[in-house]
Structure 1
Amino acid sequence: MALAATGLAFLALVVLSCPATAAAGIGDWRADQIRQAEEEFASVKVLSRQPLYLADSFPDGAKGLLIGGYPPRTAWFLPPGTPSATQEHYNSYCFSEALVLAQTQDSQSVLTSDDRAILTRTRLKVLDVIKAPPALAAGDQIAVVRFGGEVLDHGERLRVRDDGWSDFSPGHVYLLKLQSVQGRGMDHYFSLIYRETAFADLRLVREWDEFAAGTPYGDVKTELLSLPNRYACPPPR
């Protein structure tokens, strides 16, 4: 049976931060952290209507869910005539709690307790910070939890992907745009609407937010950091 896109419109990231001075960095994904992540993702209703064992199959036989259709981002309209690229860059900077360049270390995927979704946790090292709260700095380790991934459970391959899924292979470098969620008893970020983007030799692998493929990271950072000097970001809600 061919797998059909669901039309769901969400990509989610949860990021747990850990100071670089921790003796062993970020440890294994604990059961209480997995339950917390399940609560976060359940709150945005990004779930299959049935257990993944009963879902349609991908062409290679894995069963699961393909997500497509992203919602429009929050907009803050700049003066008439402002180039669209400037508006995109403004949105990236002003509507993100953190913008960080990070290198992947390893990943772990788990099936949720109701068998209707998969969450993947990736540990990364922050290489550089464009924007972040004071507690997050270059050299820190972070753990990014995303909706999606692949698991082998009771001999069955189960998969959840969106149309822009990145494998986060070890050693690869990504720019992450993140938003904060407070009051959960730990430092973390949560984003529903932004995609990560990959770099190779510190150049963009593909077009991203109207930055052309091949743009050096330094140019991306310089442009994004220049925005608050040209246009005031809206006050926090």
Structure 2
Amino acid sequence: MKKMLAFLWIAVAPCAFAVTPWDQSSVRAAEKYLRVNPNGTAPDIHQADLFPDGARGFYVENLPPLRSYVPQAGKSAADQMLGQTFCGAPLIVLAKALDSVSALTSGNASILTRTEFEIEDVVRSRSGLQAGQRVSVVRLGGEVKDQGMTLRVADERGEPYLQGKSYFMALTRPGDAAGIDYFLHGDPVPVRAGRIEPGSGRWEKFLTGEKYSNMKQEILRVSRDKQCAD
């Protein structure tokens, strides 16, 4: 099956919670930020290869771009990882995944998914968001039904969010994005029972089993580094 990068907002996945539905402006803003089919030459997903279960689509590797960060002499690789992920992020939160809604992009090139999260703790919030409020996070990938077909864009590393689970996230929002939408500034970090449980090898050797409260303090420490200035 080929790996590809990525509007028919009529074709959307059902949701049990009141996730804000996609509209034309939010799809276009997300496409622009995620560079989905920038040249307009990607094939229609309806013609994509078949998954074993009969769905049509392809795999993507959903890695957010890392900000350049060079630690000073004597600083650890963990500090570099923390800096790359969290420096400059306008919103850093611990949040619980609720439900999602997906939509086809323009030209049926790919699929976008908007997931609603309930904020549980705030490390940084330039927009004034607080614990108990909700935030929507957009990613490339997801599944919809259209023209009698199941269409899927799957993340090679597995589902990035599981409903009801909590994640420590650094989020960003470009100026022309829909007012409700944020995008990942770095990999989401799963938190279970107050401890870090990374689902990505990028975190595995640094933080497995670490207390969330300790990681939060490490983020605050690294953010005071002059190289982490916005």
TM-score interval (norm. to shorter): 0.7 to 0.9
| 1:36 match | 26
Which residue does 1:203 correspond to in 2? 195
1:19 is matched with which residue?
none
Identity, % of aligned positions:
29
Report if the CA contact (8 A) 2:56-2:152 is conserved. yes
Cα distance, 1:103 vs structure 2: 0.6
Partner-residue secondary structure (3-state), 1:226: helix
Within 1, Cα distance between the matches of 2:64 and 2:128? Answer: 30
Within the candidate set 61, 76, 82, 1:68 is matched to: 61
- 1:137 and 2:134 aligned: no
Which secondary structure state, in structure 1, belongs to the residue aligned with residue 206 of structure 2? coil
1:45 to 30, 35, 46: 35
CA distance in 2, matches of 1:134, 1:35: 21
Normalising by structure 2, we get a TM-score of 0.79
Return the alpha-carbon distance in structure 1 between the equivalents of residues 55 and 147 of structure 2. 13
Aligned residues of 2:29 and 2:176 also touching (Cα < 8 A): no
CA distance in 1, matches of 2:178, 2:186: 24
TM-score, scaled to structure 1: 0.77
Asked if the contact 1:101–1:126 (Cα under 8 Å) also holds between the matched residues in 2, the reply is yes
Match of 1:213 in 2: 208
Q: In the alignment, what sits opposite 1:14? A: none
Distance (Å, rounded) in 1 between the aligned partners of 2:65 and 2:29 = 24
Residue by residue over 1:31-70, the C-alpha shift from the partner in whole angstroms, topping out at 9 and shown as x without a partner, is 53x5323333145432481111111222332211211384
Q: 1-side partners of 2:173 and 2:113: how far apart?
A: 19
Conserved? CA contact 1:106–1:169, under 8 Å: no
For 1:168 and 1:145, locate their aligned partners in 2 and report how far apart those are by CA, in whole Å: 11
Partner of 1:171: 164
Superposed CA RMSD in Å reads: 2.7
Which residue type is aligned with residue 20 of structure 2? Answer: W
* Alpha-carbon displacement from aligned partner over 1:128-161 (angstroms, at most 9, x marks no partner): 0112215111111111221110112222111112
Whole-angstrom CA distance in 2 between matches of 1:41 and 1:202: 35
Asked if the contact 2:137–2:183 (Cα under 8 Å) also holds between the matched residues in 1, the reply is: no
Question: Counterpart of 2:9?
Answer: none
1:84 and 1:41, CA in 2 relative to 1: closer, same or farther beyond 3 A? same
Instruction: Report Cα offsets for 1:87-120 as digits up to 9, x if no partner.
Output: 1112223232221110112111222242111111
- Secondary structure of 1:211 counterpart: helix
Q: Take 1:84 and 1:222, find their aligned partners in 2: how far apart are those partners?
A: 17
Conservation of the 8 A alpha-carbon contact between 1:120 and 1:146: yes
- Contact 2:60 2:156 survives alignment (8 Å): yes
**Cα pair distance change 1:221/1:195, threshold 3 Å:** same
| Residue type of the alignment partner of 2:223 | P
Match of 2:12 in 1: none
Q: Secondary structure at the match of 2:86?
A: helix
- Could you say which structure has the higher helix fraction? 2
Contact 1:205 1:214 in 2 (8 A): yes
Q: Which runs of 5+ in 2 are unaligned?
A: 7-16
Of 152-161 and 37-46, more deviation after overlay is shown by: 37-46
Structure 2 Cα separation of the partners of residues 167 and 76 of structure 1: 24
